[in-house]
Amino acid sequence: MTLELPRLSTKDMLCTSASTLADISAIYATTRALKAGREVHTAVLRHKRLAMIFEKDSLRTRFTFDIGMQDLGGSAVFMDHRDARLGSRESLKDMAKNLERWVHGIVARTYKHKALEELAQHAEIPVINGLSDFVHPCQGLSDFFTLTEKWGDVRGRTVTYVGDGNNTCHSLIYTAARLGANIRVCSPEGYEPNSRVVSEAMRTALESGSEIQILNDPVEAVDGADAIYTDVWASMGQEDEIEERNGIFAAYQVDEELMARARPGALFMHCLPAHRGWEVTQEVMDGPRSIVYDIAENRLHVQKAIMALLIR
């Protein structure tokens, strides 16, 4: 089976705000082909090498990119940067200029989004965002790909995100707006998503027909929703805020009562890792409407598609 691999409109995958609808459609078409015929695509990236630079711990991102390169016939080299922030030992420009001589693509999981932008600026090879403090594009793309598998089309469907307006939330907003899905974000006052993200997404929504709402009342936010999404209340780097956040976010826990206020059959979503008993109850997390492991599986296939379309 021969894959059609069109070029995306950007060299890199840093944020889905830069992706066109055609880009996302190409990623999803390639994802479906790769997922359906996983064993027959080892020639796609044969002899290609990926550098994986991680400042943060990871299970899903590290395994799925590494396994994904192997599935496509390539190889990955892991560089652990948890003990030394990017740019501390040598400049990001020099790192980028060195890596582009040895490998064919870079995936970086960083604290600061600016570090990714600087790598991409100086590297002639593709740079893929494996997570930054600003956005988590591979997660958002995997979330909505999974919903297309469940629903067929996400246009006009409503996803309610309950929790901290963090990097995952930002990617959900950007991706929903591009695809024409409705997105409601419900956070405690002072923990809403970045206002620039919301403004940019609202401009996109004018073209796609998406509706974007920022709310503070969980009951109002989930009313009639087709899916409810949550994430940890304190992200990596916010460990000193855990106790304070647990108190502030207690009323935003996704439990059976909150799920019951959504549309019948509404799906439950989480990017993982999850803390049962905090942002979500065990009954919801492990219940029949939870699609968290489907999403985790699709991280592999979506990221393989991104690499196949970017790395040449």
Given 136, 157, 170, 184, which residue is catalytic? Answer: 136
Q: Which residue has the tokens 């992200």?
A: 235
**DSSP letter at 280?**
B
Question: Helix or strand or coil: residue 27?
Answer: helix
Q: Residue 271 catalytic?
A: yes
For residue 136, indicate whether it is catalytic.
yes
121 is catalytic: no
Active-site residue (options: 62, 271, 301, 303): 271
What single string gives the DSSP state of each residue in 111-159?
Answer: S-HHHHHHHHHH-SS-EEEEE-SS--HHHHHHHHHHHHHHHS--TT-EE
Query: Can you tell me the distance from the alpha carbon of 116 to that of 130, in angstroms, rounded to the nearest whole number?
Result: 10
109 is catalytic: yes
CA distance between the termini of the chain: 19
- Say which of 12, 133, 226, 231 is annotated catalytic: 231
Task: Output the six-digit token pair for 307.
Answer: 């690499």
Per the CB < 8 A criterion, the answer to whether 200 and 174 are in contact is: yes
Alpha-carbon distance 230 to 293, whole Å?
14
Choose, from 71, 133, 139, 245, the residue flagged as catalytic: 139
CA gap 163, 231 in Å, rounded: 6
CA distance 28 to 37: 14
Report the DSSP beta bridge partners of residue 106.
51, 127
Between CA 89 and CA 68 the distance in angstroms is 29
What residues are annotated to the active site?
A: 109, 136, 139, 231, 271, 299
